[in-house]
Amino acid sequence: MSDPIREDGLYPMRLQRFLARAGVASRRGSERLMTAGRVRVNGAVVTELGSKVDPASDVVTVDGAVCRIAERPCHLMLYKPAGYLTTMSDPHGRPTVADLVPVAERPGLYPVGRLDLDTTGLLLFTTAGELGQALLHPSHHVTKHYVALVSGTPDEGDLGRLRAGVRLEDGPAAPAEAELLSPSDPLFSLVAPRGAGRTGGGEPNAVVGLTIHEGRKHQVKKMMQAVGHRVLRLHRDAFGPLVLTGVAEGSWRELTEAETAAVEAVARGEG
């Protein structure tokens, strides 16, 4: 019989999953804590990996510290600045997006997908693992809108190739929506703050708006490169039904109820 799902979203689960959701360690790391005898449930040491706990009633401790998981999932959007890695920890101590979101208050938060070090814009975080995985699943074709400052000026032929599905090294990209943005477009100044026309070196450039439905590594940069234009700056202003609004660069905010309902619908395949 499957676990009954309760209104608080918590249900009996394997202890290592509980520990991972509580942000104590990865599942593998949690298993190691268990087998080392550092985990207790209601005061008794539990080393058996299949053991289950009820988050609503059992008291779980690691080395004596009580662990809890958030009762309701937390979803938030970060306006990622350039210069932050999309990872929750970096062995070399470089700045990461984890420095910018409330990991202590909301253990288990993780980014849904990734933005390159130099890419700015909307990065969704959630404590709900299933939701994040569903949004990233290729079958859901979650749309992402990017604004790119590029070298040169793509002509109709270049835009047509992007719209048809340009060929990349790892296989063809799905057809994208692509358009040149004019300086009067509010998104234009996000990547070309001093106006387009020339980069510092005097190279002519333009701003392209791109909607894609895939999430391959460096996808936009590779697509633009494939049609002969280097991405000089890249910003994501929309992810699925979410639009980057009401949040300053380097800050985050929780999703509104309407936004939460909209992402949950997309994750169910209804978006």
- Among all residues, which ones are annotated catalytic? 116
Identify residues 178-207 at the interface with ligand URA (CB under 6 A).
none
Closest contact distance (angstroms) between CB of 153 and ligand URA is 20
Closest contact distance (angstroms) between CB of 135 and ligand URA is 15
Find the binder of ligand URA among 116, 177, 179, 185 (CB under 6 A): 116
Nearest alpha carbon to residue 68 among 26, 112, 106, 30? 106
Closest contact distance (angstroms) between CB of 222 and ligand URA is 6
Nearest alpha carbon to residue 13 among 65, 42, 50? 50
The span from the CA of 221 to the CA of 234, in Å, is 8
CA angle 24, 26, 27 (to 5 degrees): 105
Find the binder of ligand URA among 115, 122, 238, 266 (CB under 6 A): 115
- Residue 268 interacts with ligand URA (CB under 6 A)? no
- Taking the least distance from each CB to ligand URA, the nearer of 150 and 234 is 234
Closest contact distance (angstroms) between CB of 116 and ligand URA is 3
For residue 171, give the H/E element and its range.
strand 171-172
Query: If you ran DSSP here, which 8-state letter would residue 97 be given?
Result: G
In the block, residue with structure tokens 């719209």? 163
Phi then psi dihedrals of residue 158, to 5 deg = -65, -45
The 215-244 contact track toward ligand URA, x by CB under 6 A, reads: ---xxxx------------x----------
CA angle 83, 109, 84 (to 5 degrees): 5
Choices 43-51, 150-158, 212-220, 261-269 (CB under 6 A): range interacting with ligand URA:
212-220
- Taking the least distance from each CB to ligand URA, the nearer of 52 and 222 is 222
Query: To the nearest 5 percent, what fractions of the chain are helix, strand and coil?
Result: 25, 25, 50
Closest contact distance (angstroms) between CB of 112 and ligand URA is 13
C-alpha 60, offset from chain centre: 29
- Taking the least distance from each CB to ligand URA, the nearer of 24 and 162 is 162
Find the binder of ligand URA among 73, 85, 112, 119 (CB under 6 A): 119
- Taking the least distance from each CB to ligand URA, the nearer of 27 and 213 is 213
The span from the CA of 130 to the CA of 200, in Å, is 44
The span from the CA of 173 to the CA of 245, in Å, is 28
The span from the CA of 66 to the CA of 246, in Å, is 35
Q: How many residues bind ligand URA (CB under 6 A)?
A: 8
- Taking the least distance from each CB to ligand URA, the nearer of 116 and 179 is 116
Q: Which residues bind ligand URA (CB under 6 A)?
A: 115-116, 119, 218-221, 234
